[in-house]
Structure 1
Amino acid sequence: MDIHNFKGQFDRSLERIKESKEISEINKGIIFKFKDYLLSEGIGICKINRYLQDLMKLSRMIKKPLPEASKDDLTSSHTLKGGDSF
């Protein structure tokens, strides 16, 4: 029994990623591939959902394809102190 509705939260996160205009198609593909990998490794949907939420926020903040993001992009004070917090 899933009293916290983790499956529903997971499904909503996936839908939010698909529908987001702020996340590039490249980043969406990377996020979905990462999700598939985590599922194949037996990681629970609650943990995966947390990763999805973090990747959504990060994708919106850095505004570039994730493979092109540098360490500085990911650790800059603008990214870390931007409107959304982790």
Structure 2
Amino acid sequence: MPFKEGVISKEALKLESIYDAVDKVSISKNDAIKIIGRTKLERLVDRGLIRVEKSSSNNQHAKWKCNASDVLRNIENYDYGTDF
């Protein structure tokens, strides 16, 4: 677990449980882009921080399946302002 022992809040434990639960779940590249953005997704995949399975074809249009836990772990806070 990435939290310091003795400093773990209930919310942090729940969040870690969610990450563990979706670790075996894959989402499409398009869905991952909706969550964290295209540039960030590609950068994190290149750095090995998001696990990706590409379809067996070796063409540039191969479909990606991204690990949902990795994508969720890399969400950053976004200031939505007061527009909604």
Tell me the TM-score normalised to structure 1 length. 0.30
The structure number with the bigger radius of gyration is: 2
Tell me the TM-score normalised to structure 2 length. 0.31
Tell me which protein shows more strand as a share of its residues: 2
